[in-house]
A = this chain, B = another copy of it.
């Protein structure tokens, strides 16, 4: 059968971000449900945000569509235009190439969870809105640069 036993899916913690950005998402963990179910064309992760945690640095994707449904607690979506509190059942979509960075904050006192779906493009570029950081990902390799394209060597 194709039902995913989430109790058997490993809890993923940590981040590909370089320090000090990795520490900023320390309260985030996720289950890679799509991978556990054998999917390869898009990722499906169930993300848990501890109280006070953030989902990621605020970012936008060049090549990959992204979709989110909140499943538990309250998530505050932050974008260029401001903030929106999202609750279970609320959904948001982030089309590839739209340069409006987003992330989710848990400002409540209980854990929050959301399901996030993202295409797996052969090559991806994510640009971080609030810091001088870009990541290019291809064939499993991530390369961090400043927004001027030079190799990242620490916050500036």
Contact = CB atoms under 8 A, between A and B. Distances in A.
Contacts of A36: 93
B33 A91 contact: yes
Interface in A82-139: 82, 84, 86, 89-96, 98, 100, 102, 115, 117, 119
Contacts of A95: 37-40
B2 A38 contact: no
Interface stretch (A49-57, A64-72, A146-154): A64-72
Contacts of A93: 2, 4, 33-34, 36-39, 44
Q: Which 5 A-B pairs have the closest CB atoms?
A: A37-B93, A41-B65, A38-B95, A39-B65, A2-B92
